[in-house]
Structure 1
C-alpha cells in the first residue's frame, strides 16, 4: 500500500494564480503547482527510467540541496533522454537535466554547478516571482503555459500545442529568467557548490565550456545557452565570485565517470564497443572504461562478453556498486536468463543499500523474473512507502500483483503509475477495473473509490 502522501490520496486546492489577494504564489501553492506540473512533464518529455542514472542524479542533487540555504527537502530530479545540452527548473523544486548535459560535463563539479544553479532558481523563487505581475490566470492555463514552455525546448510541435492562445507570448516573457535572476542564481549556486565541497570554479568553467562548444555559430549554440544566456561579463562575474572561496574542494568522482560511461553506452552502444575494441591504449584497469564497455555489450545482447569485461576490476568512491549492478544486469539479460545468479548479487546489495532506488528496482525485476512475486511486492512497497519518486516501481508492483492473482491491487498500482504520468483518463479506467475485480476487499474498495474521486477532479480540470 502506498504512503498517505500518495498524490491520488490527497487532492490539491490551489487558488487562481494571479489572484489579487496574493501577488506571489505562497510556498505551499508553489509546491502543489510543482507536483501537478511534474505529472505533465512526465507525460510530455522522454524521461529516463534507468534506475542507476536516476539514483546517481537524485543523490547528487540532494547533496547540493542539503547545502542550499532555505531549501525545502522536497526536490525532485529528472533526467531527460535528449542529447542536447540543457537543464531546467520548475515550481516546487523540480529540476531536469538532459543526458546531453551529463555527456558534455568534463567532471562532476561541472554537472554539480548546473544543478546548483537550477536549485538556486527554485530557492530564490524566481518562477513564483514571475507570476507576481500576472493578470488573472487559472491553474489549468498556468499549467498549460508552463508545460508548453518546458516542452518546446525539446519538441517544438508539442510545446506549441500546449501553449494557450495569445497569452503564451506574454506569459513566456514573464517566465524567462531575467539577467538579474541569472546573476542571483550564479551567486547562490556558487555558494551551494562550496558548501557541498565542490570547487566553485566549476561554474565559470562550465560557462566557458559552453561558449567553446558554441563557437559563436547559430545552430551550434547549445540549448543551455538559449535558455541561460552566457556572456563574457557573466563568466568574469562568476569567476570573481568563485575566487572568494578557498579550500580543498572536490572536482570529480569515480561515480561520475561511471555514470558518464553508462550514458554513452546507453545512447550509442555500437560506438562504445567499436571505440573500446579499436583503442587499446587505455588503462585495462580503468573501471569506468570497462564498465561502459560492459553496459554497451549488455545493450547488444552480448552478455557473456559483458561478464568477462567485468571480471577482475574493482572501483572506488562507490564504484563497486555500479559494477555489481552491471553483473546482475548481465545475468538478467542473458539468454537463457540467470535470475538466481542475479538474485545472489542483489540480495547482498539490498542488505547493504536498503531502499536504494537502483538496487531496489533491479532487485524487484529479478524477483519477478525468478517467480517470487510476493517478495517482489514486499521489496517494492518498502521503497514506495517512503518515497513517491519511483513511479516505475508501481508498474513493477502491478506486474507482480497480477501474477499473484491480486487483480484489484494490480489495477490500483497501475492507476497510481498513470496518475504520476498525468494520464488521468487511464487512471480512472484502471480504478474502475479495480472496483470490478473479484478479489476486491472492502478496505481496498474504500481506498480505490477515494482515489477515483480525486482522479476525476483532475480529469475535469484538464
Structure 2
C-alpha cells in the first residue's frame, strides 16, 4: 500500500497547474456558485474515475463487477433524487471499506463483500455511499473556498480516496488540496454521516432490503474494533461509528415495520463464494477439503473457483460435476463450464456454451468478455472484433473489453486500430503519457487510412491537452 499512498500523494503534488480549464469551474467568489453544479460534478467525477483506476487495484473479475453494478443500480432505482449516471466500482482489496465520489462514483472493496453476512448488509453500506452522492456532501465541501478548478478538485478528492486506504496520507492530501482553514468543510462531518445513514435507510426500505442491516453492520464493526484495538477495520477509520450513531440508525430503522424483506439472492450467495475464493484460494480449498459445507452448491462452486485460480482445471471440472442450473445460477455455472472447456482447449464446446449464453444474456459484460476471449483463442478474430464492436458501441468505457478489442485488432493485423484502441484503454486508466505514445504509433502504422488518421489526430489533441 506504500506504492498506492505515493501515487495518491503525488497526484496532489503534481496536479496543480494542470488542465484546470478543462472543467471550466467558476470562481468561488461568485455568490451564485456556492458549490459545483450537477454538470460540473459529473465532469469532475469522470476525471477522478480515471485517477482511481490508475492508482487503486481494481477487481478484474467480470461476474463480481456485474453483480455489484446490478445491486447498486437496484438501490439507485429506489432513490427518488438520484440521477442516472451512477457507476459502481470494485477494488481488489481484502480490507473492509467503501467510498463515494462526485458524479455518482461508488467504490466497494472485495473485503467488504466478503465481510457481509447477508445481502442487506452489503446493500446498507452501498446505500449509505449513494446517499453521500445524492445529498451532494462531496460537492458542498467546496462551499466557501476561494476558488475551485480541476486541479483543486483532484487534489481534494484524491485525499478522500487516500484517506480510505491510508488516513495519514489522506490528511496530507486534503491539506495540499485546499487551505488548512477549509479542511473542516471537506471532511465527512458527523452531520453528513448521520444524514447519509438516514437517507440510506430510506433507500434500503424502498428497495425492500432490511433497514436494520445498517445498525447491525455498524455494531459488528464497532465490536471488531473493541475486540482487537490494534486492528481497527478501515471502514471505521473513514466512517467513524459511535454508540450514539448506532442507536440513532437503529431508531430510524425501527420506524419501518416490514417483515417481508428480500432474502439473499442466489447471485449474492454465489458472488460471495466467488469473492472469498479469489481473495484466498488456499484457505477456500483447505476449508472445503476439511468437510465444511460440502453439501452446499455454493461451497462446491467456491471450491471450483479456487481450484481454477490455482490452475487445477481437471479438479475444478470434477468439483462442479453434477451441479445443475437449479442449484447454481445458470450464468455462473455455464461460464465456469465454458472457462474449463477453454482451458482444456475444447474451443468448440466453449463457443457453443457462450453462444447460448449470449442469446439469454445479450449485451452482458461477463458473457461478452468470455465469448470474445474464446473466439480469439480459437482464431476467430473477425467474429471477436464484431462482437466487441457491437458491445462497445453502446458501452464504450469498459477498459477490460477495450483492451480485449486492441488484442483482437492486433491479431487481425489492424495495427493502426490496435494502437488507437490501446490509447483509449490507457486514457480510461488515466495513463495519458502511454495513451499519447500509442496514438503516435497508430499514426506511424503502415495500414493507417485517412479516416482513421483523422480520428487518431483528434484523440491525440485531446490527450495532449490533458498532459499539459
* Structure 2 contact 174–183 (Cα < 8 Å) conserved: no
> Who is 1:258 aligned against?
270
Which deviations, in whole Å up to 9, do the C-alpha atoms of 1:411-457 show, x marking residues without a partner? 11111100000011111111111112122222212211111111111
Offset at residue 166 of structure 1 (A): 7.7
TM-score (norm 1): 0.92
> Who is 1:146 aligned against?
157
> Who is 2:28 aligned against?
18
Matches within 5 A, 1:120-159: 120-154=131-165
Please, which runs of 5 or more residues in structure 2 have no aligned partner? 1-20
> Who is 2:337 aligned against?
327
Offset at residue 322 of structure 1 (A): 0.7
* Structure 1 contact 294–305 (Cα < 8 Å) conserved: yes
CA distance in 2, matches of 1:102, 1:255: 13
* Structure 2 contact 112–122 (Cα < 8 Å) conserved: yes
* Structure 1 contact 113–189 (Cα < 8 Å) conserved: yes
Provide the alpha-carbon RMSD of the alignment: 2.1
> Who is 2:13 aligned against?
none
CA distance in 1, matches of 2:151, 2:220: 39
Q: Which one of 54, 59, 71 corresponds to residue 82 of structure 2?
A: 71
Q: Does 1:92 align with 2:100?
A: no
> Who is 1:45 aligned against?
56
* Structure 1 contact 34–93 (Cα < 8 Å) conserved: yes
Offset at residue 135 of structure 1 (A): 2.1
TM-score (norm 2): 0.90
CA distance in 1, matches of 2:200, 2:170: 28
Q: Does 1:200 align with 2:211?
A: yes
Which deviations, in whole Å up to 9, do the C-alpha atoms of 1:224-248 show, x marking residues without a partner? 1111111112111111211222331
* Structure 2 contact 298–328 (Cα < 8 Å) conserved: no
Q: Does 1:438 align with 2:450?
A: no
Offset at residue 17 of structure 1 (A): 6.4
Offset at residue 68 of structure 1 (A): 0.8
Matches within 5 A, 1:333-348: 333-334=343-344, 337-348=345-356
> Who is 2:285 aligned against?
273
CA distance in 1, matches of 2:27, 2:321: 57
Which deviations, in whole Å up to 9, do the C-alpha atoms of 1:315-337 show, x marking residues without a partner? 55972211111122222334xx3
> Who is 1:397 aligned against?
405
Size of the alignment, in residue pairs? 446
Q: Which one of 277, 295, 298 corresponds to residue 305 of structure 2?
A: 295
| 2:89 partner SS | strand
Q: Does 1:429 align with 2:437?
A: yes
Q: Does 1:313 align with 2:320?
A: no
> Who is 1:4 aligned against?
none
| Pair 19,379 (structure 1): closer, same or farther in 2 beyond 3 Å | farther
Q: Does 1:246 align with 2:246?
A: no
CA distance in 2, matches of 1:424, 1:161: 25
| 1:177 partner SS | coil
* Structure 2 contact 155–174 (Cα < 8 Å) conserved: yes
> Who is 2:366 aligned against?
358
> Who is 1:7 aligned against?
none
Which deviations, in whole Å up to 9, do the C-alpha atoms of 1:14-37 show, x marking residues without a partner? 325635251110000000000000
CA distance in 2, matches of 1:405, 1:17: 50
CA distance in 2, matches of 1:119, 1:313: 37
CA distance in 1, matches of 2:117, 2:167: 29
CA distance in 2, matches of 1:315, 1:201: 32
